[in-house]
Chains A and B, each alone.
Chain A
Amino acid sequence: MLTRSWRALAAVAGVTLVLAGCQEDLAGGAACPALCPDTLTVRDTVLLASEVLERDITLPGSPAIGTEAQLLVADFVRNGDRLRTGVVFRFDSLQRVLVDTTGKPPRPITSIDTASVHVNIVTPASGSYDSTLVRDSAVTFVLYDVNAAASDFDTAAVRARFGVTQVGSRTVRRDSLTGTIAIPLDTAFLASHVRDGERVRLGLEVQSDNGAQVRIFSAEGGSPASLQYIAHADTSRISVALSVNTRSSAGPPIRSLADYMLLLEGAAPPPAGILAAGGIPSSRIFIRFDIPPALIDSSTTIVRANLEMHQQGNDLYSSDDTVALVTRLVRATKAVEDPAQAAVLSVDPIAISSSFAVPAVRVSPSETRVDTIPLAHILLFWKSEGPETMQRSIVLQSSTQGLDPRRFYLYSSDAADESLRPKLRITYIPRSGFGLP
């Protein structure tokens, strides 16, 4: 009897185990919305510039001179506006002696032949230079002696040397604008500088009847231009290749100035009272927020935060191509009060986490419109950090800063028309303490 009982128990236990093994599946919703009214209260508020912006200013000179990863040599007219830029290559230190392995003392270089400057061309995203960038079938690179008895940052003296003493040139077909281009340099000019112990500073321009713009890599971009020549001493010869440099016996070298871009002719700087991003020389926009703690430092959850900036159409160098207005996150503490210094400490938010990515606003600077910059993820990040240490600031910059003369004009918090000032539109869900039916 007992055995039979336990056999029965085993049979029933088996059935029960089958039942118990079923996965709980609670998800439903077919009866919504009849049985599912909104549980959460979603609120929307618009914070005016005077309520939420502590500071908004234009930071000129960004990237700082010499820190460009790419250098633009351009001479063109678009929409009636002319842009002319040049690039300066500094060879402050040259090889002036010939050293061999025989143990003899170094011998001064007496003559030079086949001197050239090698520049590394940036291939456009389209894969090659087309007629929109170089209108004619060929472009001429011209080198000038731009050495000036002036301080490192006296760019006006250097700018004045462009077009004065030509020391080299080369015409290149448009379809050959790729890789490294060697521009022959006047050997007599170089030899005299080598023999006399003088520095060489060269200015590069492009010349084309109908306009051209070419990008080259800089030292910061990892592929600096170089000076190459064959040097002779007595009966010996050597091939010399020197990268741009600022090594000089006079004063500490500022490495970033080994190569840099100069605006030779361009548009006027942005007007006062407007925030400007992009252009040549380029500028950035710095915005420091003072978001009400009741929203960001509370149990309220911000689900959307759109910074609305009114864009004033800017027709300078207008074209149909769009440019991106890019948002960067400032990672400076509150102790860094100077916006220019704080902006240096800005990063792409995606570098912190892919979830903080702020989509770029792709638009033509010539449009008059409202740019909406989604900052909700940034605000969540700031909330997670707390209000104590880090400042809550962003930087807006053009995706082509320093390489495209077009410039975004955005109305600031000082705009005469209050309706054009920036706004932060926040959608939030208050901590509801939900749960009670």
Chain B
Amino acid sequence: MRHSLAIALLLSAAFSARAAAQGTLSTQGFGYPPGQLSTRATSLGGGLAETDPLSPVNPAAISDWVASGLYVQYSPEYRSVETSGGSDHTMTVRFPVMMGAVTAGDRVVIGLSTSTLLDRTWETTRVGYTHAGADSAQFFEDFTSSGAINDIRLGVAFAISPSLWVGAGGHVFSGDDRLKIQRVSADTTFTPFLQQSRLSYSGTGLSGGVTWRPSRALMLGASGRVGGNIETFRNDTSISKATVPSRWGVGVSFTGVSGLLVAARADWVGWSSMGDLGRPGLGVTDAWDMGAGVELNGPLFFGLTLPLRAGYRHRTLPFTVSGAEIVENSFSFGAGIPISGGRSRIDLGVERANRGSINGISEKAWVLSAGFMVRP
């Protein structure tokens, strides 16, 4: 019996359960990808990302910093999950992009950024039953996950000519995830249960890109990222390895009409290369992200022209539910407030996202966004 008990314990350790208790569509798997977009780019449906210096997507776009500066973005998400049995309303705080850039002469701009690749922050409370022999006892479970995989990029943009910039970036993907499960039972013969786990991530990647302004009214951007290895550690022990997803994207922005900017982008991420990072059977799929938006000069605000923005974005989220892909469609709106004669700027945006529905579950979210760009 003792041998069988020991074997049972070993087997249970070997085939331990997965942490798949997140009760939302968007935070499946390793989490939700905010998109690595600035507030301005988000407001334009992501259409501006390939040529936006504040979105850490295309290293060549760093060139548009023009002068040294800092950028910080704050994006709380108000999410609702609707099911036939009820609904949840949650609020998640994110700081998805932080960036700094310095100019080195007229032809070189260096940028350092950190952005959220996948945000795995959620909390699920639920009621279940523990079955012990012929008995069953009700329990109340609180399962929390707090953490993210972040993309830290050191990028350099170099001017081939005043209208043609190329860029390269070295990426380190790091972060951690703290998970905690607590259970208390209505049956007092059960003791409260608490187990915690901390995962950390380490990976690398390289990216490159180009921005080209063939005319004053047109700007093109294209970039790509090649993923290196990424590993997951628990207590300094490597528990899984995979490849950082590669990414390719192209974008165009048009300013041929006075006071109007139109931008569009298509982006593909090979998320499936992360499959081995999770447990066998992790549902992950490659995903397209397409969006477009417009920016036009709006009314005066304290004497300054207020750019108004709107956009639409359609994308597939990387992690699936029971094999079904989760599609996100979002409308976004925003405005920019120039400060200090336009050297600095505050961008405000709001995005309405619809995800699903899958198995009768749908998700809606309001994502507010405030980006602060300062160039002293």
| Alpha-carbon separation in the docked complex, A313 to B329 (Å) | 70
Q: Which residues of B contact A29 (CB under 8 A)?
A: 23, 88, 124-126
Whether B20 is near chain A, meaning CB under 8 Å from some CB there, is yes
Q: Which of A28-84 contact B (CB under 8 A)?
A: 28-48, 51
Chain B residues in contact with chain A, CB under 8 A? 1-2, 5-6, 8-9, 12-13, 15-25, 28-30, 74, 76, 81-83, 85-93, 121-126, 128, 130-133, 137, 142-144, 177, 179, 181, 183, 185, 187-191, 193, 195, 197-199, 232, 234, 239-240, 277-279, 282, 301-304, 319, 321, 337-341, 346, 348, 359-361, 368, 370
Q: Is the CB of A376 within 8 A of B193?
A: no
Q: Is the CB of A28 within 8 A of B9?
A: no
| Alpha-carbon separation in the docked complex, A51 to B199 (Å) | 37
B82, B303, B370: the one within 8 Å of A19 (CB): B370
Q: Is the CB of B5 within 8 A of A437?
A: no
| Alpha-carbon separation in the docked complex, A228 to B5 (Å) | 68
Q: Is the CB of B122 within 8 A of A433?
A: no
Q: Is the CB of B132 within 8 A of A12?
A: no
Residue from A27, A41, A294 whose CB has the most chain B CB atoms within 10 Å: A27
Q: Which residues of B contact A38 (CB under 8 A)?
A: 17, 128
**Given A19-B74, A304-B189: A44 and B370 within 8 A (CB)?**
no
Q: Is the CB of B13 within 8 A of A377?
A: no
B6, B16, B301, B339: the one within 8 Å of A433 (CB): B16
Q: Is the CB of B195 within 8 A of A432?
A: yes
Q: Is the CB of A302 within 8 A of B303?
A: no
Q: Is the CB of A2 within 8 A of B340?
A: yes
The smallest C-beta distance from B228 to any residue of chain A, in angstroms, reads: 20
| Alpha-carbon separation in the docked complex, A165 to B89 (Å) | 86
The stretch of A3-11, A167-175, A401-409 in contact with B is A3-11
A5, A301, A303, A437: the one within 8 Å of B302 (CB): A5
Q: Which 9 residue pairs are nearest across A and B when measured between Cβ atoms? A: A28-B88, A432-B16, A26-B123, A430-B12, A374-B189, A435-B197, A32-B126, A427-B132, A8-B302
**Given A19-B76, A31-B88: A303 and B125 within 8 A (CB)?**
no
Can you show 17 pairs from A to B with CB atoms below 8 A apart? A1-B303, A4-B302, A24-B91, A26-B92, A28-B123, A32-B21, A40-B195, A41-B12, A41-B16, A45-B8, A51-B2, A303-B183, A303-B185, A433-B234, A434-B18, A434-B181, A436-B279
The smallest C-beta distance from B230 to any residue of chain A, in angstroms, reads: 13
Q: Which residues of B contact A7 (CB under 8 A)?
A: 302
B83, B132, B197: the one within 8 Å of A434 (CB): B197
Q: Mark A292-328, 1 if CB is under 8 A from B, else 0.
A: 1011001011111010000000000000000000000
Closest chain B residue, CB of each to CB of A13? B346
Q: Is the CB of B341 within 8 A of A2?
A: yes
| Alpha-carbon separation in the docked complex, A429 to B8 (Å) | 11
A9, A12, A32, A41: the one within 8 Å of B23 (CB): A32
Q: Is the CB of A35 within 8 A of B23?
A: yes
Q: Is the CB of B13 within 8 A of A36?
A: no
Q: Which residues of B contact A24 (CB under 8 A)?
A: 91-93
Q: Which residues of A contact B19 (CB under 8 A)?
A: 39, 434-437
Q: Which residues of B contact A39 (CB under 8 A)?
A: 17-21, 143, 181
**Given A8-B337, A427-B130: A437 and B20 within 8 A (CB)?**
yes
**Given A32-B21, A36-B20, A36-B126: A43 and B81 within 8 A (CB)?**
no
The smallest C-beta distance from B149 to any residue of chain A, in angstroms, reads: 12
Q: Is the CB of A425 within 8 A of B132?
A: yes
Q: Is the CB of A33 within 8 A of B126?
A: yes
Q: Which residues of B contact A427 (CB under 8 A)?
A: 130, 132, 190
Q: Is the CB of A294 within 8 A of B9?
A: yes
A27, A47, A372, A434: the one within 8 Å of B90 (CB): A27
Closest chain A residue, CB of each to CB of B179? A435
The smallest C-beta distance from B265 to any residue of chain A, in angstroms, reads: 27
Q: Is the CB of B121 within 8 A of A26?
A: yes
The smallest C-beta distance from B139 to any residue of chain A, in angstroms, reads: 9
Residue from A8, A298, A433 whose CB has the most chain B CB atoms within 10 Å: A433
Q: Which residues of B contact A335 (CB under 8 A)?
A: none
Q: Which residues of A contact B123 (CB under 8 A)?
A: 26-28
A33, A298, A376, A430: the one within 8 Å of B191 (CB): A376
Q: Which of A118-168 contact B (CB under 8 A)?
A: none
B17, B30, B83: the one within 8 Å of A31 (CB): B83
Closest chain B residue, CB of each to CB of A435? B197
Number of A-B contacts (CB under 8 A): 248
Q: Is the CB of B16 within 8 A of A31?
A: no
Chain A residues in contact with chain B, CB under 8 A? 1-2, 4-9, 11-12, 15-16, 19-20, 22-48, 51, 292, 294-295, 298, 300-304, 306, 359, 372, 374, 376-377, 380, 425, 427, 429-437
The smallest C-beta distance from A402 to any residue of chain B, in angstroms, reads: 29
| Alpha-carbon separation in the docked complex, A26 to B183 (Å) | 17
Q: Is the CB of A25 within 8 A of B91?
A: yes
Q: Which residues of B contact A376 (CB under 8 A)?
A: 189-191
**Given A28-B123, A430-B12: A33 and B128 within 8 A (CB)?**
yes
The smallest C-beta distance from B59 to any residue of chain A, in angstroms, reads: 29
Residue from A11, A300, A432, A435 whose CB has the most chain B CB atoms within 10 Å: A435
Q: Which residues of B contact A46 (CB under 8 A)?
A: 133
Q: Is the CB of A436 within 8 A of B18?
A: yes
- Assuming A11-B302, A300-B9, A431-B16, what are 8 further A-B pairs, CB within 8 angstroms? A12-B337, A19-B368, A32-B23, A39-B19, A51-B1, A304-B132, A306-B189, A430-B16
Q: Is the CB of A22 within 8 A of B76?
A: yes
| Alpha-carbon separation in the docked complex, A23 to B12 (Å) | 39
| Alpha-carbon separation in the docked complex, A427 to B376 (Å) | 63
Residue from A9, A31, A34, A427 whose CB has the most chain B CB atoms within 10 Å: A31
Q: Is the CB of A31 within 8 A of B191?
A: no
**Given A4-B302, A430-B16: A45 and B195 within 8 A (CB)?**
no
The smallest C-beta distance from B344 to any residue of chain A, in angstroms, reads: 8
Q: Which residues of B contact A47 (CB under 8 A)?
A: 1, 5
Q: Is the CB of A30 within 8 A of B74?
A: no
The smallest C-beta distance from A291 to any residue of chain B, in angstroms, reads: 11
The smallest C-beta distance from B112 to any residue of chain A, in angstroms, reads: 23
| Alpha-carbon separation in the docked complex, A433 to B199 (Å) | 10
Residue from B17, B126, B337 whose CB has the most chain A CB atoms within 10 Å: B17
Q: Is the CB of B177 within 8 A of A435?
A: yes
Residue from B2, B89, B122, B124 whose CB has the most chain A CB atoms within 10 Å: B124
Q: Is the CB of B338 within 8 A of A5?
A: yes
